[in-house]
Amino acid sequence: MDLPGYRTLTEHQPVTFAVERDERGLHASMVRPR
Q: What integer pLDDT is reported at residue 12 of this predicted model?
A: 57
Ordered DSSP codes for 1-34: ---TTHHHHHHH-THHHHHHH-HHHHHHHHHS--
pLDDT tens column, 1-34:
555 555 555 555 555 555 566 666 556 555 666 5
Q: What integer pLDDT is reported at residue 22 of this predicted model?
A: 62
Residues 9/15, Cβ–Cβ less than 8 Å: yes
Number of domains in the chain: 1
Q: What integer pLDDT is reported at residue 25 of this predicted model?
A: 58
Q: What integer pLDDT is reported at residue 9 of this predicted model?
A: 54
Range of the structural domain that residue 18 is part of: 1-34
Residues 19/29, Cβ–Cβ less than 8 Å: yes
